[in-house]
Structures are given as structure tokens and as C-alpha cells.
Chain A
Amino acid sequence: MTEKNTPLWEVFIRSRTGMAHRHCGSVHAADEEMALQAARDVYTRRGEGVSIWVVPSAAIVASDPSEKEEMFEPTASKIYRHPTFYEIPEEVGNM
């Protein structure tokens, strides 16, 4: 095909105020304005959102799943980061 590929955008939607934007899919569009319009048509036909972010897919940097162990394992041994690590007498009440 001689045509140039239309850029890919990742779509994030805030389902209602107070919630975080959440990744929901992607769209192809020539520019950011059309990406927003396409995202609205594709991902919010039934009131799924109150706000949309579109981000060029190429701009996302992700961790490598094959390095999952090294990346996240260190947190597993740090149990003192959790409240249940600390003993509080029952008489003290909820804390």
C-alpha cells in the first residue's frame, strides 16, 4: 500500500467526576482533534464518560513483562510497609 499509515492513539476515559481516567482502547486518527472525536464516537456511545484523554501510542513507555520479577519482587519482602506488621494492643482500639 502506498498510503501512509494513520497514527495510533491510546484512549483514556474518566467515567464520572471523581474517578481517574482509565485506559479503554485505541483509535487511528491523523491529528489530536480527530483522535478525540473518534474516541468519543467509538468509546462513549452510551454515556461511558465525562472526559477523554488521547495520547500518541508511540509516546507511552512501558515496563518489560519479562523483567517483572526484578521490577516488582523487592516490594514483596518489605512487609513492614503494611499496617498489619505492627502490633497494637486491643485496648487501644481501632487505629
Chain B
Amino acid sequence: MYTQALNARDTETSAIEDAERLAAFQARVDAEDKIEPNDWMPESYRKTLVRQISQHAHSEIVGMLPEGNWITRAPTLKRKAALLAKVQDEGGHGLYLYSAAETLGVSREELTGQLLSGKAKYSSIFNYPTPTWADIGAIGWLVDGAAIMNQIPLCRCSYGPYSRAMIRVCKEESFHQRQGYELLLEMCRSSEEQKEMVQDALNRWWWPSLMMFGPSDTDSKHSAQSMAWKIKRFTNDELRQKFVDATVPQAHYLGLTLPDPDLKLNEETGHWEYGEIDWEEFSRVIAGNGPCNRERLAARRKAHEAGAWVREAALAHAQKRRDRREAARHAAE
């Protein structure tokens, strides 16, 4: 979206971040005005968005790996077609998001480099393995379900390109969640063994899904500023609670038990209260020591390196054709 050239900023003007400009910027945000790529914005707003949007993009790209694992082994042609379409969507979502991040003056190559070097983070959830077919259903239902909770408020984010990318993403995510839940429903109704497989997947994915909303509000370092800038609309804990309230009845409908002995419905508030999240596990996975962190990064690096000759050849081919056209024009003159 928009051009890199347009985003070459005058560094002198952006250095003068006086209080007046900041106040005018905040007033625009407060008035629900959208901020567009070439508008003046505080450097910290720009940095926060680059970090958040690129992490989001990396998550979509790495998220293709755990599911891609099952494309060749999907049980029916219908499921295989759906899974292929879903994984392709995740790739597409990554690209919409990279485009949005690039409007902030960072190049695609830089962003990819940050992912491959391990400097940039991606959602911790994709560092868990997918050993059974039920995991594919659990990812659609829980992981995409949690992503939708996070992404719906982002459609109203103050930064125009991010908000527009999120609107597209949200339209497509609904299919992801529904195909996952339908797949699990079919398994739960088929046989005891298959239902056990689904229960096992739920046991493994439930807590990591809750962790997807990030640290609790008391420990979140970015929340307050992001709320003021209207990048975030709800806190991590608010979104997590919405997710739990929506998902627990869906698990019960499948006839499953949630792996949380402390889970109970508070009749007064109408909310499901859940047990303590293992934040040590969360930190461990974020720090690179989850079950599949190394495998995921190795797969991305391999794809990038093995594809280098294709990128080079495509550029060389384009250059050759340009040169030929140029030569033909000269000859004609």
C-alpha cells in the first residue's frame, strides 16, 4: 500500500517533536480520525506499529507451518481442499500485513531479515506441535478463534493501513474457525477414539490459546500507551475473558472437558472464571525454548535460502527483458 518513495521522510522535521505537534496528533486520534502513511506521527507511534504489525505478519507466515504439516495427510479430499485454502489464506494475511508495515518506511527485506535472525517475535502459539489430525481442528477453533477476538477491535485501529488490512483478514478468518469446529464436531460424533483424540488436542491447546492474548494487564508493558493511541481498544485480560466466555460453551457442546479444574461460571457476572495461567511457560516459549521454536525458524530459513536463486533469477529475467525492449526501441529510432 502506498509507496516507499513517498515514505522517505524529512528527518529534520520529524526530529522536532514538540508538544504542540504531539497534542495535535493525539487530538486527531481522540476524534477517531485515521492516521495515514504520509501524515506526521510521533516516532514512538511509528515504532510501536512497525513492531506490532510485523510481529503479526510473521505470526501468519510461521502459522502456515504447523498446519502445512497435515496437508498431505488430510483424511478426505474435502478436508484437504479446505486446509490448503486456509493455509493459503494465512500466507495472504501475512502479505497484507507486511504491506501495511511497509507503509511506515521499513522494507520487506528488513522485516524478513528480522524474523530469520530471531530478532523479531511471532505468536508463541505456533511453537507447539501438531501430532494429530484433531490438532488441525483445534487450531481453527481455538487459535483462529483467539486471533479473531484480538483482530476485530484492530479493524478500528487508528492507523489506516493496519485497520484496512484487519478488515480483510477478519472477513476471511470466520471460515477458518468454522471449518475447525466442524471438523472436531464430526470427530466427536464418530467414535470414542476420535473423541479422545479431540479431548487430547483441547488439553494441549487450551492454555497456549489463553496465552495468545499476552501478559496479564498488570504486567503488560505496552498496553496503556497503545490504548491512548487507539491501536488497542481492549486490554489483554478483557479480550482473554471474552474468548473464555465464548469458547467454554462450545467445548461443552462438543462434550469435552476443559483442562482447568478451577474453571467455574460466576452466576452473578455471567463470566467463566479460569485458573492461573502458567506464565513461566509463556516466557519460556517467547524466549525461544518452546517445543518447536528451533524447528519453525529452521524451516523459514531453509525456505528463504532455498528460494534465493528464484528471486535472483526473476530479477535478472526482468532486467534482461527491460534491456531488450530498450535495445529494440533504440534500433527503431
Contact = CB atoms under 8 A, between A and B. Distances in A.
Q: Is the interface of B mostly helix, strand, loop or mixed?
A: helix
A44 B125 CA distance: 28
A4 B321 CA distance: 17
A1 B110 CA distance: 9
B147 interface: no
B1 A23 contact: yes
Contacts of B38: 62, 64-65
Instruction: Using C-beta atoms within 8 Å of the partner chain, give the interface range for chain B.
Output: 20 to 34
A88 B110 CA distance: 62
B84 to A, nearest CB: 11
Contacts of B311: 3, 6, 30
A91 to B, nearest CB: 44
A21 to B, nearest CB: 15
Contacts of A25: 1, 96, 99, 165
Contacts of A3: 109, 308, 311-312
A76 interface: no
B88 interface: yes
Nearest to A29: B314
Contact of B102 (A4, A8, A41, A46): A8
B4 A1 contact: no
A57 interface: yes
Interface residues of A, number: 27
A81 interface: no
Interface string A20-50: 0001011111110010000001100110000
A92 interface: no
Interface string A52-72: 000001101010111000000
A60 B38 CA distance: 13
Contacts of B113: 1
B99 A46 contact: no
Contacts of B36: 65
A5 to B, nearest CB: 5
B331 interface: no
B317 A30 contact: yes
B172 interface: yes
A57 B2 contact: yes
Interface in B78-112: 85, 88-89, 92, 95-96, 99, 102, 107-109
24 contacts: A5-B108, A6-B315, A8-B3, A8-B4, A8-B102, A23-B1, A25-B1, A26-B1, A26-B2, A26-B102, A29-B314, A30-B314, A30-B317, A30-B318, A41-B92, A42-B92, A42-B95, A45-B85, A57-B4, A57-B5, A58-B4, A62-B38, A65-B36, A65-B40
Given A30-B318, A45-B92, A60-B6, 6 more contacts: A10-B2, A45-B88, A57-B3, A62-B3, A62-B6, A66-B40
